[in-house]
Amino acid sequence: MINLFNYIDRPSPIHRLTGACKLVCLIAWSVAAMTSFYTPLLIFLTVASLVLFRVAKLKVKDISFMLGIMVVYIVMNNVLIFLFSPEHGTSIYGTRTVLFRIAGPYVVTAEQLFYHLNVILKNACTIPIVLLFVCTTNPSEFAASLNRIGVSYRISYAVALALRYIPDIQREYRDISLAQQARGTEMSKKASLVNRLKAASSILIPLILSSLDRIETISNAMELRGFGKGKNRTWYSGRKFSKMDILCMVVCLVLVILSLTLTYLNGGRYFNPFI
């Protein structure tokens, strides 16, 4: 369980970028994708993210599990949108082009399909980037990156602590769970939902109470070492920005500006091919 965040160490230009730069790019990219419904831009972002994926030398097999979840998610989400409001596209784009009827209120319109395409593209252009970030950024560099982009070092340190203690807590969870199972707690699908919840609590209480003790110990240790005295701190895995980093961040910020300008020039968030 060491590789929880699926960090894959492989020499590539993306791996060489500093964590802080990748974090800025990730945020900028997400903002660009979230604000826009401008279809050409979304298509461009999707294609670009797939290209970056190749550049990072990631293989489909590395991420097949996550890819599976993602596809299921996207399909479910779209089915749900269609079930709840088959006319959503019509209300956004203002026209109604009926392609064919299914039954009752479920009419397939070109507008609805176009809206679904946009939703899929919006997911498709951010998910590879998140995967890229997760697979190419060393978790221990993550906290240092947060501090670099201006998050207070105290909060960055909290993130570092979280990452540091996840494996420990996981191990403790497993130990307690096994101990409780040995005492006859049923956690599997055989138990009813309520019983499973109760069983979960019988594990949670020891886990959390022992974690509260842990909080006490760690904060005492940190206090003894004078944590929080200085204005800033240094990080073992912090790195300086290279030229490439700055270039990447500029490109991503340009994307955000582009997305906002397109929304502005388009006179609305939606790229409308129907009028």
Partner 1 sequence: MKKFSVKTIVAIGIGAALFFVLGRFVAIPSPVPNTSISVQYGLLAFLSVVYGPVAGALIGFIGHALIDFSYGWGVWWSWVIASAVFGLLMGFAAKLLKMDEAEMGKKGLIKFNISQVVSHVICWGVVAPVLDILIYSEPLDKLFAQGLVAGVSNAVTTAIVGSLLCVAYAATKTKAGSLTKE
Q: Which residues contact 157 (CB under 8 A, 6 or more apart)?
A: 143, 227, 233
Which residues in 155-214 contact partner 1 (CB under 8 A)? 155, 157-166, 168-170, 173, 193, 196-198, 200-201, 204-205, 207-209, 211-212, 214
Does position 63 interact with partner 1 (CB under 8 A)? The reply is yes
Size of the site for partner 1 (CB under 8 A): 72
Residue 84 or 264 with smaller CB distance to partner 1: 84
Furthest-apart CA atoms within the chain: distance in Å: 72
Nearest Cα neighbor of 41 from 244, 266, 246 is: 266
| Of 8, 43, 66, 107, the one binding partner 1 by CB under 8 A | 66
Does position 274 interact with partner 1 (CB under 8 A)? The reply is no
Residue 17 or 132 with smaller CB distance to partner 1: 132
Q: Are 112 and 82 in contact (CB under 8 A)?
A: yes
| Of 12, 39, 44, 77, the one binding partner 1 by CB under 8 A | 77
| Of 85, 97, 237, 266, the one binding partner 1 by CB under 8 A | 85
Structure tokens of 225? 């070492």
The helix (run of H) or strand (run of E) holding residue 261 is helix 243-266
Residue 168 or 244 with smaller CB distance to partner 1: 168
Phi and psi angles of residue 23, each rounded to the nearest 5 degrees, phi first: -65, -45
| Stretch in the footprint of partner 1 (CB under 8 A) among 43-51, 102-110, 122-130, 251-259 | 122-130
Residue 155 or 244 with smaller CB distance to partner 1: 155
Cα dihedral: 148, 154, 156, 161 (round 10): 150
Burial of 146 (0-12, 13-18, 19+ CB in 10 A): buried
User: Closest approach of Cβ 65 to partner 1, in Å?
Assistant: 9
User: Closest approach of Cβ 254 to partner 1, in Å?
Assistant: 21
C-alpha span between 225 and 181 (Å, rounded): 40
Residue 216 or 246 with smaller CB distance to partner 1: 216
Q: Are 248 and 14 in contact (CB under 8 A)?
A: no
| Of 43, 107, 176, 218, the one binding partner 1 by CB under 8 A | 218
Does position 138 interact with partner 1 (CB under 8 A)? The reply is no
Which residues in 95-114 contact partner 1 (CB under 8 A)? none
C-alpha span between 264 and 273 (Å, rounded): 17
User: Closest approach of Cβ 243 to partner 1, in Å?
Assistant: 28
Beta strand pairing status for 98-103 and 106-109? antiparallel
Does position 84 interact with partner 1 (CB under 8 A)? The reply is yes
Q: Are 52 and 251 in contact (CB under 8 A)?
A: no
Which residues in 16-55 contact partner 1 (CB under 8 A)? 30, 34-35, 37
| Of 46, 123, 185, 263, the one binding partner 1 by CB under 8 A | 123
Residue linked to tokens 């020891």: 206
